[in-house]
């Protein structure tokens, strides 16, 4: 599956506290993202299943372009956002 260059996609479920955490975190940093609720959308669920060899709904999962992160720590997320050029002085993680 091909992702649009630079697009952030968050796969999760609105009832999941970690999914809500990532939504709030990305919003607080001013980073645009697409939220795909795997419990509401069969298409989103199938996209997520296709990302994993286990064919399971592993959420929350963040796609940073083509980089896949499953339930990353703040530190890991910060590392990849910086490495892939999503962060600048105007948008940083809590405590960053």
Residue 66 near residue 72 (C-beta atoms within 8 A): no
For residue 36, the enclosing domain spans 8-83
**Across the strands, what pairs with 18?**
none
Q: Is residue 96 part of a domain?
A: no
Q: Which CATH number fits the domain that encloses residue 21?
A: 3.40.30.10
pLDDT computed for residue 85 by the predictor: 87
**Domain presence at residue 24:** yes
**What is residue 56's predicted lDDT score, i.e. its pLDDT?**
85
Strand pairing report for 8-12 and 34-37 = parallel
**Contact present, 19 and 44 (Cβ < 8 Å):** no
Q: Is residue 93 part of a domain?
A: no
pLDDT of residue 57: 86
Q: Does residue 76 sit within a domain? A: yes
Q: Sign (positive/negative) of CA torsion 50, 21, 34, 76? A: negative
Q: Are 7 and 65 in contact (CB under 8 A)?
A: yes
Model-level pTM? Answer: 0.85
Which residues of the chain fall short of a pLDDT of 50?
Answer: 1-4, 94-96
Residue 23: inside a domain: yes
Q: How many folded domains does the chain comprise?
A: 1
């Amino acid at each position: 599956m091909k992702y649009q260059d630079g697009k952030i996609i968050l796969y999760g479920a609105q009832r999941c506290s970690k999914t809500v955490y990532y939504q709030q975190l990305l919003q607080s940093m001013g980073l645009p993202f697409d939220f795909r609720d795997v419990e509401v959308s069969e298409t989103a669920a199938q996209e997520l299943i296709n990302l994993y060899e286990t064919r399971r709904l592993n959420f929350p999962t963040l796609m940073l372009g083509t980089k896949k992160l499953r339930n990353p720590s703040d530190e890991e997320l910060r590392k990849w956002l910086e490495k892939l050029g999503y962060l600048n002085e105007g948008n940083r993680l809590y405590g960053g």
